[in-house]
Structure 1
Amino acid sequence: MKRVDVVYALIYDDTTSKVLMVGNRREHGSEWSLPGGARERGETLGQAVIRETFEETGLNVAIDNIVAINEKFFPHAHAVFFTFGARIIGGEQSINDPNEITDIRWIDIKEAENIMDYFPNGVQCFVEQRVAAPYYFQAD
């Protein structure tokens, strides 16, 4: 079974209590998620989340720590999802690939928690209490 590492950026605006989410194009409409995607060969998790966020939103981010790790078995893959806390440091919000992303929207945290029901304790604890696990890349 193939292993796939997937990264997501949890970007929270504490002045509006909203989370940045993207509409991913699917066969039957779109599905909301945090900006992110699969780590490419030779890429660290940190590099992947920065690249994926820019590709999907046009925004440059700095990452903080990992706020959650989830796993899921699919019929042909074992996916491990790494969600990083992230901050916008530049760029301009835009859809770079309309074949992949249908919309970029700041969503109220309560609505975001309903969408991201795979976090049993919600996302509020990640953004307000700053619950996190440190992330380190150990270079030689």
Structure 2
Amino acid sequence: MIREDVVYGLIFNQANDKVLMVKNMGSVWTLPGGAVENGETLEQAVIREVKEETNLTIEIEHIVAVNEVLFAEKGVHPIFFTFKVKVVDGEIGIIDENEISEIKWVDLETANVLMPYHPNGIRGLLASNSSYIFQL
């Protein structure tokens, strides 16, 4: 199986209790994110992916989840790293219309339905906190 690292940015708007999600061309809603490129750290990848998918510049706060799954039929073993991030610049916009069809703020209950693999839901992710260290 081929191992693939995937990163996501959890962008939470505390004022209206919503999370930013993107709809991929495959009709799947996710947090903004994607595959880590060769030679890229997880932090670099999530910053790049969020920018590519939402036009937002972010800063990393901390890692909130690590998930993995085996797709035996595809021969892929992705490991998903989700970071809590904050927006520091930019306006929401689709940069690549061949990849992202829609971006919207979603209430937490809807986000939980769209991402059922987090047993404690988005609130659980928001309460989670772990360190991420890139060792030189």
Task: Give the structure-2-normalised TM-score.
Answer: 0.96
Runs of 4+ aligned structure 1 residues displaced above 6 Å come to none
**Count of aligned positions:** 134
The whole-number CA distance in structure 2 between the counterparts of 1:24 and 1:96 is: 12
**1:81-123 CA deviation, whole Å, 9 max, x = no partner?**
0000000000121100111100010000111011110001111
- Structure 2's unaligned 5+ residue stretches are none
Q: How does 1:71-86 map to 2 (within 5 A)?
A: 71-75=68-72, 76-86=75-85
The whole-number CA distance in structure 2 between the counterparts of 1:67 and 1:85 is: 6
What's the counterpart of residue 95 of structure 2?
96
Structure ranking higher in strand proportion = 1
- Structure 1's unaligned 5+ residue stretches are none
The whole-number CA distance in structure 2 between the counterparts of 1:51 and 1:83 is: 14
**1:43-82 CA deviation, whole Å, 9 max, x = no partner?**
0000000000000000000011110000000131111000
Alignment RMSD: 0.8
What's the counterpart of residue 6 of structure 1?
6
Alignment partner of 1:132 is 2:129: yes
User: What is the aligned-residue identity percentage?
Assistant: 50
Q: How does 1:109-128 map to 2 (within 5 A)?
A: 109-127=108-126
